[in-house]
Structure 1
Amino acid sequence: LRAEYLAGHAEEGDKRKKKLPLLVAGGIMKGGRKREHLVHYSRCIIVDIDGVPTSAEDILRRAEGLPYVKAGHISASGKGDKLFVLVNSDLDLHLPAFEAVCRKLENDLPGIMVDYCGKDPNRGCFVSYDPTAFYKEKSEVVPVKVGAPPAPQKHVPASAIPSSDGALGNYMDKFETDNSFSSGNRHTFVMKLSGALNAAGFEESEVKRECLSRYVEPGFTEKEVAGIVSDIYTRYRSSHGSNPYCPPEHRKPHQKLKSPKSLPDRPDSEETDEFENEGVDIEPDETLLPPFREEFFQSLPSLIRDILTYARDDTERSVLLLSSLAMLSSVTPHVQGSFARKEYQAPFYGVVIGESGSGKGCVASLFKLIASWQRYVYDNSRCEVKEYQKKKEEYELYQKLLLRSGGKKPAGLAPENPEPVKQMNLNISGYTSLARMIEQLETNSHYASCLFETEMEAVTNTLFQEYGNYGYLLNQAAHHERIGNSTKTNGSLLASYPLLSMLLTGTPEMFRRLVPSAESGLFSRLMVYKIAGHGEYRPLTSEDDTPAAAHYFDSLAERVLDIGVHLDKHPTWVHFSDTQRKRLNRYFKQEYNNVRVFGHEDVASAVLRYRLAIFRIGMVLTAIRKGEALSEEKDWVIRDDDFEVAFHIGTICLQHTYVVSTSLKRNKKELRYKMPFTSQKIFAEMPLKFKRAEIRDAGHVLLLSKSSVDRLLTSAEKNGLIISLGAGYFHKTTKGREITVPIIP
């Protein structure tokens, strides 16, 4: 079992662990493992320590030296410890006893992380094999201090509402619409309902009476129902009335809107536009939109390093790096690899966003990089087309002679009707119809086409035309998925394995026209680089006026041509190493979980697709190295230094994607950016144990509404980051403590 965990096979390890015997230290169970099956309480608290600062063995030895720890052993996985502590309290005080023991252990064993999922007395633990386990005949019993019942808070008791209003019944009806009362869930349902009714201020006797009338059924007795209600009201006496219920009849009715003039300047209702409650408007700077770090540039292939010498500052260097890689990804014939059980090639999509004059114009000359390669493919194809035309003319002439001779065959061999050959052209304009683009992608065969536009509006304008509308094509081509189109005018067209790279530049407003929503399929397929700020004036220099400056990329284009020709003759298969793959999985698993937990589900698909983008950059770098070395080797593992570069570019662009996505949420006339990690930051900065009011206050400072914070808590609890202790208190689990304040890559 432990070998499976050490090998990283967590699922297999979990399967083996579940076959072990189970021990419930809290007492004797009869008829099941639920709390109601606990017939004898042992006054023993079991503490599960998952996060250990040193080693499980070290923590166990230190715990053995504590006089109040009765027993302990290393957990079945070998990564944590199980400690057993006796208390002097009864079952009804198990939760405060558990908290007291945890506080005591966390104080005496600095750095440990207690898993608060063990707060229930019926919590079981798997029996472990541990020769170093200990048990003490005598140990101290931890006293649990029970203070006087707190003074009741001010609330609106349900008894103050006339019974004819049916307030309790209405409340319970509403609760039943949102929660399921079914076999296997009955105990939890009544427990949650009792907690809600207690907080709403309804009297225990009234609640008990109504619950008995509704929920008693075979297998779920009156004693059980009444016991659950009494237990909740006793344990959470201090929270009675903390969230008073106000029936709808007692609320101020909504006024009808008579005219637009009667709209309030700023509604106080929680029903305001959700986008207004997602944080403060910001002007993204290089903290949120960092450039690529220069330390990675030295390990790049010589071709890329020479391209970057054209840059005049860090901004241009970063823009040129992503842009040149996107362009060069179209010069990788026969370079392939397998990703998630599917064959992929290197071409990918890049987009550079910046205000006017921000420096994105430096990419305008990059088309020269691949011009020689595209001309090479075009000229070779032109020769094949001419050969086809010649054979076609010979065939047609033969057919005419045959017709004139009355069917008598002319002397010599009869020419065959040649297969049509169409002209390849790897350069695709943004102003291209859907039908023409499909036809050209199919014609270009195994060569990748390149759509390069420094004016993004060339693409956006065409996308909204009936003849254009190739958004579907861009989505399909990103994954080499077949693209079809059938019209009366053009007939049926099919690109069976499209290869397309794309590089676009434009302003934020133009980008929002191209991608109106972060949930757009195209958005998740783009590598985004957003230039921070509005740019600076760049003075003219004498170097700008030299022929060398104007033709800088011409000589580099010949090197690109040589690489392309070599790769075309010698197929290449690229893949990750195991170490690289594991690092990618660790990083993106955390990113994926974070965006889903903290309210950014719209970018979840983008997070997953950035793994493929990193793989493709690794393919491009590997292909360049193979071409420069004139190697004929087919199988290539991405070099570690190339992986570091690809990983850095991918994670930086993902950071830019997060920021840009905040400007795409909702339909707003003004372009605004938000802090993309507000919810995660607030959660990470909360202490180990916190109140709902505390996290709401923290959210209020950053203009997060109460409903947004409550959704955050619901999501965090659903995903196992926190557990509810009742009365508005929450405690972070081991998984929740792993959430940190976002760090810019």
Structure 2
Amino acid sequence: MINHVDLDALNATIPPETPNPANVALAHTRSAGIRPDSAEATEVDFTAHRLNWVIEQHTAKRGLMPVGEGSGRNTYLTAATFFANDSGVKLHEWLDYCLNNWTAEGFPEREIRATVEGIYQREAAKFASKPYEAPRGRAHESSYSGVATAATSTNSASEPIETPTIPEWIFDAMPRLLQQCCQPFSAGRERDVMLTSTMSILSGCFRSVTGVYDGSTVWMNLYCFIIAPAANGKSGLSWARRLAYAYHKSLVDESKLNLQEYERLNEEYQQGKRSAKKGMPVPSAPAAPAFKQLYIPGNSSAAAVIKVLADNDGSGIICETEADTLSGAMGQDWGNGFSDLLRKAFHHEAYTYQRKTGKEFYELSAPAISVALTGTPGQVLKLIPSAEDGLFSRNLYYSFEAPHTWRDVSPSAGRGNLNAYFDALSTNVSRMILHANAPIRIELTASQWQQLNEAGEQWLGTAVDQCGEESGSVAKRLGLSVFRIAMLLTLLRAFENGEEPGKLVCDQLDFDIALALGDVFLAHSLAMYQRMPKPAGAAGKMAAKAAKEAKVFELHQHGLSYRDIAEQTGVPFQTVGRWLKNK
């Protein structure tokens, strides 16, 4: 629970920059008799512009404040407050605006005040870290990245892809370990790639952590695919891989020792069997040990992957910085079962495998695989031939095209020794894995489940509206991935706070982060969907959908009700409402 904050004491820690709340700044110049061309009026006007700019930018990215219980009002307020703090809006100015405009039934002054004051208190060091600059003769271009939608201007793979970045407030609010992992990387694409990669790797490290989603037990495993042209800032995955490498190496080293001991015992057994006299009992053969490891090579055959999973309680991580490594394996005759395994493992469906000889039989009751890949746009189609391939909708995509720039590679550039930096973080991750050896159950609150359902409905509507009915699977599986992200954030926050593993309930801030990431990943997934080959008939379906939309708009202009339009066109009532609302 956030304690009440002394506004005067907190504002005293912030360097004075502007007087008076922005939402009454211009009126103040008139009532106080201030000349419009005076220095004081300029400063007051700057205050008004800054607050108005923050509000305009946030509204442009996230729309207006949601209405109604469980609509995500606190999520909206949280993101806006981080942005206002970073932009240099004074606490009393921002709080006045929020209380005057957003207080409502079910969203009382107490909740708004606690959220705003709490963020300003925790983030005081970042106040005005990205200050607003008044426009000088042309429209101000914002670098603010809130929740955005996919670019819809083109479906051509030859056009540059336009996708949003992860909102800045997330990097300020996420658990400390994630902040430490992202700290060495520059803001924007490079840092986004690092966060996406890190979440994917960490999601495969904790087999004891579960939750319940749609009635089924699920683990935290994520499938992430980072797509950009060559040498375009995808290297974050190689550093993220180091986070779990120390633990992986400890498993492999122990497995090698166990294998050596097995070979010694087996040699003794063979000698004893040869020297045993007739009629004497033959000594028992030693059991071959399981070969434990965390990382699974992407160039393995399906049979090899299944053997690795069987040795490791059904869990593992496939991490490849070149997607061709995995697509090469899947393209081989012996790799045909690989895609099937990955599709089933996403939902932890049971998987059985038996060699033709019948001597080897493996059954994975609940496989839990995390996948982290980077690749170029050309490598995507080798792995996933079309958007209709079941693997497509199981991935969280982060795709971009950034202009090539030269980075200062000298030791004085400030990046330091990243090998040593991530080796130290890897040691901490190993401790976390060992500490989380007992079952841990992560839950959402009733309100959070309601927010997730509402967000899922919005994601589904966005996907269908932008890309057609066939893209609905992208939004539906995004809901499970967002739940898994919330689970991971909850676990990391528990480690950060020193909580003992057991039953953990997701903090609202971490849930807000998960939802906001879901918005970003949906935009990237739909941008990729629009570039993927479609099966025969898909173009006709899109044309038919466009024709129906046009008919809906035409009937609406003639004054027909939503229900009458739905009956005449055969379009579901809710879809009619969504199309007209987004028109």
TM-score where L is the length of structure 1: 0.51
For the 8 Å contact 1:332–1:623, the answer to whether it is kept is no
Q: Which residue of 2 aligns with 1:450?
A: 317
Which residue of the other structure, out of 221, 228, 248, is the alignment partner of 1:354? Answer: 228
The CA distance in 2 between the partners of 1:581 and 1:680, in whole Å, is 36
Deviation of the 1:486 alpha carbon: 3.4
The CA distance in 1 between the partners of 2:303 and 2:456, in whole Å, is 37
- CA displacement, residues 346-374 of structure 1 (integer Å, 9 cap, x when unaligned): 12110000012321123223221111010
Query: Using a 3 Å threshold, how does the CA distance of structure 1 residues 594 and 359 change in structure 2: closer, same or farther?
Result: closer
5 Å-filtered alignment, 1:270-281, equals: 281=156
The CA distance in 2 between the partners of 1:310 and 1:508, in whole Å, is 26
For the 8 Å contact 1:438–1:493, the answer to whether it is kept is no
Query: Using a 3 Å threshold, how does the CA distance of structure 1 residues 498 and 280 change in structure 2: closer, same or farther?
Result: closer
Is residue 650 of structure 1 aligned with residue 537 of structure 2?
Answer: no
For the 8 Å contact 2:155–2:530, the answer to whether it is kept is no
For the 8 Å contact 2:206–2:436, the answer to whether it is kept is yes
Which residue of the other structure, out of 407, 423, 447, is the alignment partner of 2:279? Answer: 407
Query: Using a 3 Å threshold, how does the CA distance of structure 1 residues 546 and 579 change in structure 2: closer, same or farther?
Result: closer
Which SS does the other structure have where 1:540 is aligned? coil
5 Å-filtered alignment, 1:356-435, equals: 356-401=230-275, 403-404=276-277, 406-408=278-280, 416-435=284-303
The CA distance in 2 between the partners of 1:713 and 1:537, in whole Å, is 55
For the 8 Å contact 1:284–1:532, the answer to whether it is kept is no
- CA displacement, residues 528-566 of structure 1 (integer Å, 9 cap, x when unaligned): 011244443334343469862343211111011111111
Which residue of the other structure, out of 291, 299, 302, is the alignment partner of 2:173? Answer: 299
5 Å-filtered alignment, 1:201-350, equals: 281=156, 288-350=162-224
Deviation of the 1:623 alpha carbon: 2.4
Letter in 1 for 2:391: L
- CA displacement, residues 429-481 of structure 1 (integer Å, 9 cap, x when unaligned): 221111111111111115x3111111111112221111223111111121222
Is residue 575 of structure 1 aligned with residue 447 of structure 2?
Answer: no
Which residue of the other structure, out of 543, 550, 557, is the alignment partner of 1:690? Answer: 557
Which SS does the other structure have where 1:440 is aligned? helix
- CA displacement, residues 244-298 of structure 1 (integer Å, 9 cap, x when unaligned): xxxxxxxxxxxxxxxxxxxxxxxxxxxxxxxxx9967487778x51010110112
The CA distance in 1 between the partners of 2:556 and 2:419, in whole Å, is 63
Which SS does the other structure have where 1:551 is aligned? helix
Deviation of the 1:584 alpha carbon: 1.0
Which residue of the other structure, out of 408, 429, 438, is the alignment partner of 1:560? Answer: 429
For the 8 Å contact 2:157–2:531, the answer to whether it is kept is no
Higher relative CO (Cα under 8 Å, sequence separation at least 6) belongs to 2
Deviation of the 1:618 alpha carbon: 1.5
Higher helix share: 2
For the 8 Å contact 1:474–1:522, the answer to whether it is kept is yes
For the 8 Å contact 2:155–2:531, the answer to whether it is kept is no
The CA distance in 2 between the partners of 1:716 and 1:380, in whole Å, is 66
The CA distance in 2 between the partners of 1:352 and 1:716, in whole Å, is 40
The CA distance in 2 between the partners of 1:280 and 1:685, in whole Å, is 24
5 Å-filtered alignment, 1:495-510, equals: 495-496=363-364, 497-510=366-379
TM-score where L is the length of structure 2: 0.65
Deviation of the 1:489 alpha carbon: 5.9
- Unaligned 5+ residue runs, structure 1? 1-52, 56-276, 669-674, 693-711, 723-731
For the 8 Å contact 1:355–1:534, the answer to whether it is kept is no
Letter in 1 for 2:582: T
Letter in 2 for 1:512: L
For the 8 Å contact 1:336–1:343, the answer to whether it is kept is yes
Query: Using a 3 Å threshold, how does the CA distance of structure 1 residues 313 and 381 change in structure 2: closer, same or farther?
Result: same
Which residue of the other structure, out of 526, 539, 543, is the alignment partner of 2:395? Answer: 526
Query: Using a 3 Å threshold, how does the CA distance of structure 1 residues 736 and 563 change in structure 2: closer, same or farther?
Result: closer
Deviation of the 1:590 alpha carbon: 3.0
For the 8 Å contact 1:349–1:502, the answer to whether it is kept is yes
The CA distance in 2 between the partners of 1:418 and 1:340, in whole Å, is 44
The CA distance in 1 between the partners of 2:285 and 2:396, in whole Å, is 46
Is residue 589 of structure 1 aligned with residue 457 of structure 2?
Answer: yes
The CA distance in 2 between the partners of 1:549 and 1:650, in whole Å, is 29
- CA displacement, residues 61-115 of structure 1 (integer Å, 9 cap, x when unaligned): xxxxxxxxxxxxxxxxxxxxxxxxxxxxxxxxxxxxxxxxxxxxxxxxxxxxxxx
The CA distance in 1 between the partners of 2:347 and 2:327, in whole Å, is 21
The CA distance in 1 between the partners of 2:324 and 2:230, in whole Å, is 14
Q: Which residue of 1 aligns with 2:340?
A: 472
Deviation of the 1:343 alpha carbon: 1.1
Letter in 1 for 2:379: M
Q: Which residue of 2 aligns with 1:515?
A: 384
- CA displacement, residues 142-198 of structure 1 (integer Å, 9 cap, x when unaligned): xxxxxxxxxxxxxxxxxxxxxxxxxxxxxxxxxxxxxxxxxxxxxxxxxxxxxxxxx
For the 8 Å contact 1:566–1:627, the answer to whether it is kept is no
Deviation of the 1:400 alpha carbon: 4.2
For the 8 Å contact 1:370–1:560, the answer to whether it is kept is yes
For the 8 Å contact 1:424–1:443, the answer to whether it is kept is yes
The CA distance in 2 between the partners of 1:305 and 1:528, in whole Å, is 21
Is residue 638 of structure 1 aligned with residue 480 of structure 2?
Answer: no
Q: Which residue of 1 aligns with 2:476?
A: 608
Identity between Structure 1 and Structure 2 (%): 25
Q: How many residues align?
A: 422
